[in-house]
Amino acid sequence: MASVPQSDPITELLKLAKTIAVVGLSNDPMRPSYGVTAYMQNQGYRIIPVNPRIESCLGEKAYASLLDVPEKIDIVNIFRRREFVEEIVDQAIQLKVPAVWMQEDVFHEDAAAKARKAGIFVVMDRCILKDHRARLG
């Protein structure tokens, strides 16, 4: 008898997640963070902008940091440079967020290892829009 194929953890994450906090989301429609987040919002995800420089984006109130977000977060999607990743991951660990997603060209092995040790599912250097479109689109 053939073995049952293991489900893909990224597909499972994208199916189960409801709320995505987007750290570094810009309210400039020309920025990749805006386009990717608008797509995810259009797919039915609740979006929470996290950026101290904006008041709102895509019709949602923005928060200065993850620690200011008053609701449960399923995925922290990171659109920040490498030097900011560890602090963001530390906040995700503090909040017991189930998943951290680092967008294309965003990776930090030490922060990822720390997150995994805390039981957080980590995706690095991948575009959530591309993965969603390929798996669930």
What backbone phi and psi angles, to 5 degrees, belong to 12?
-60, -45
Q: How far is CA 101 from CA 1, 3, 4, 59, 94, in A?
A: 36, 30, 27, 22, 16
pLDDT at 2 over 70: no
Q: By C-alpha distance, which of 130, 22, 13, 16 is closest to 76? A: 22
Give the pLDDT score at 4. 46
pLDDT bin (cut points 50, 70, 90) of residue 72 is very high
Q: What is the pTM of this model?
A: 0.94
Residue 97, both tokens:
């967020």
Mean predicted lDDT score pLDDT of the chain = 95
Query: Hey, what domains does the chain have and what are their CATH numbers?
Result: 9-136 (3.40.50.720)
C-alpha count within 13 angstroms, C-beta hemisphere, residue 100:
35
Tell whether the model's pLDDT for residue 127 goes beyond 90.
yes
- What percentage of the chain carries pLDDT values higher than 90? 94
Q: Which two tokens stand for residue 7?
A: 């489900």
Q: What is the pLDDT of residues 16-58, one digit of tens each?
A: 999 999 999 999 999 999 999 999 999 999 999 999 999 999 9
| Calpha distance 51→42 (Å, rounded) | 21
108-117 residues labelled b (16+ CB within 10 A) or e (exposed): beebbebbee
